[in-house]
Amino acid sequence: MQKQDKITIIVPCYNEQETVPIFIEAMDRVYEKMKREYGVVMEYLFIDDGSRDKTLQILKESAEKYAHVSFLSFSRNFGKEAAMFAGLEHADGDYVVIIDVDLQDPPELVEEMYTTILNSEYDCVASRRVDRTGESKIRSFFAHSFYKIIRKISHTDIVDGARDFRMMTRQMVDAIVSLREYNRFSKGIFQWVGFQTKWLEFENRNRVAGNTKWSFWGLLLYAIDGIIAFSTAPLLLSSMVGIIFCVIALIMVVVFFVRALIWGDPVSGWPSLVCIICLIAGIQLMCNGITGLYVSKTYSEVKRRPQYIVKTYRPSRDQMKALSENEQKD
Ligand code: UDP
Ligand code: MG
């Protein structure tokens, strides 16, 4: 008998009690079709990222009800990056998909992702949204600017509008899991590990229920994290600014010295002096801050704390059955 391909679907969830049942229903429709047409098996691996609502309870009930549902629950909220990493570490499928639970990532695309990987040399089929409908103009502006800047300074091709929604081969998942850094910026890591990625484009959709977990401030911090994780250009920039100001100061010393020799030294111009002192002090603090950001990231890396702490892990019934069958064979 031909080996069945197993696809693990990783679904990070944080306070998603409304969306989990809707997601399972929508994903099941895709699974039914793919099981019929390609004979694949799927496992949904939900990561409960320390939800405070009934998400965990709903996941427990779903794992009881459906043989292909498993879940992993964190001891607190560790963030989506940690949730995706935990999913990748626990996924045992031949192909692995990461998808949001709010149906902003269309589950129907999973079929196209699978057939593309199967019939081509691609190792990853990722998705990007081609528009940002429903998002405020100012947010889109900042998002586009972020991608422009990070592409220029990071030497990593981080694609504008790229979602975390993608299917990867086992080989690529193993490569991603082998990067053990604490400050993870997956959009960069997916590109950094290399392999061939095909991009599928789709139009933006709104969440089916619940609210986004991202505030403008949260996104800004995420963007700064991304830049720090993938580029040291800000350090170079702060050194350059320092050098430029040193040169300006030297020129000024010479100019004022010569001027004092020729015309004497009238005491005036203190307001401009105060402005210059403030400006230089500001730039110094900013440059110190930039260095500090890198030092703080290094600090959190050297502490080597785990990305996440698991409170409960419940493999799916299908998985346990497969395990016991394997043991019997052995
Ligand atoms: N999420 C998570 N941990 C968090 C925040 C979000 O696991 O701390 C999950 C969330 O449940 C959802 C996905 O990440 O499945 C994307 O979150 P959201 O829809 O809020 O982000 P947006 O689509 O607005 O960027
Ligand atoms: Mg969303």
Pocket test for ligand 1, best of 19, 100, 139, 225 (most atoms within 8 A of CB): 100
Pocket test for ligand 1, best of 74, 84, 101, 102 (most atoms within 8 A of CB): 102
Range among 5-14, 123-132, 266-275 rated most confident: 5-14
The residues, ordered by sequence, that sit 6+ positions from 223 with a Cβ below 8 Å of its Cβ are: 142, 146, 150
Reply yes or no on whether the pLDDT at 140 is more than 90. no
Measured distance CA(43)–CA(158) in Å, rounded: 29
Question: From the alpha carbon of 83, which atom of ligand 1 is closest?
Answer: 7
- In the predicted model, what is the mean pLDDT of residues 224-241? 87
- Distances, alpha carbon 108 to alpha carbons 18, 99, 103, 104, 119, in Å: 20, 11, 10, 11, 18
Mean pLDDT of the chain: 89
Nearest CA to ligand 1 atom 23: 212
Residues 70-105: tens digit of each pLDDT: 999 999 999 999 999 999 999 999 999 999 999 999
Residues 261-270: tens digit of each pLDDT: 888 766 667 7
pLDDT band at 294 (very low <50, low <70, confident <90, very high): very high
Question: From the alpha carbon of 77, which atom of ligand 1 is closest?
Answer: 8
Closest ligand to 216 CA? 1
Task: Provide the pLDDT for residue 38.
Answer: 92
Distance 57 CA to ligand 1 centre (A): 19
Distance 285 CA to ligand 1 centre (A): 34
Reply yes or no on whether the pLDDT at 181 is more than 60. yes
Residue carrying structure tokens 């350059």:
240
Measured distance CA(136)–CA(186) in Å, rounded: 24
8-state DSSP, 35? H
Task: Provide the pLDDT for residue 16.
Answer: 93
Asked whether the beta carbons of 46 and 13 are under 8 A apart, the reply is yes
pLDDT band at 155 (very low <50, low <70, confident <90, very high): confident
Percentage of the residues of the chain whose pLDDT score is greater than 70: 97
Task: Provide the pLDDT for residue 179.
Answer: 93
Task: Provide the pLDDT for residue 217.
Answer: 86
Task: Provide the pLDDT for residue 44.
Answer: 97
Lowest mean pLDDT among 28-42, 77-91, 170-184, 259-273: 259-273
Closest ligand to 211 CA? 1
Ligand 1 is surrounded, with C-beta below 6 A, by 12-14, 16, 49, 77, 79-80, 83, 100-102, 104, 207, 212-214
- Taking a 5 Å cut-off on Cβ, the residues next to ion ligand 2 are 100, 102, 104
Nearest CA to ligand 1 atom 11: 13
pLDDT band at 321 (very low <50, low <70, confident <90, very high): confident
- In the predicted model, what is the mean pLDDT of residues 15-43? 94
Distance 317 CA to ligand 2 centre (A): 29
Phi, psi angles (nearest 5°) of residue 207: -60, 145
Pocket test for ligand 1, best of 213, 219, 221 (most atoms within 8 A of CB): 213
pLDDT band at 203 (very low <50, low <70, confident <90, very high): confident
